[in-house]
Amino acid sequence: MEQIANTRSHLPLRLAHQLNVDLRFSTREDLAQSDMQVYLTGLLARINALADSVRQTYLETV
Q: What is the pLDDT along the chain (62 residues), one digit of tens a residue?
A: 666 666 678 999 999 999 999 999 999 998 889 899 999 999 999 999 999 999 998 887 55
| Whole-prediction pTM | 0.80
- Asked if residue 1 lies in contact with residue 36, where contact means CB atoms within 8 angstroms, the answer is no
- pLDDT for res 6: 66
- pLDDT for res 31: 86
- pLDDT for res 37: 93
- pLDDT for res 4: 64
Q: Quick one: which H or E segment has residue 21?
A: helix 10-25
- pLDDT for res 30: 87
- Asked if residue 15 lies in contact with residue 57, where contact means CB atoms within 8 angstroms, the answer is no
d(Cα 25, Cα 53) in Å, to the nearest integer?
23
d(Cα 33, Cα 29) in Å, to the nearest integer?
6
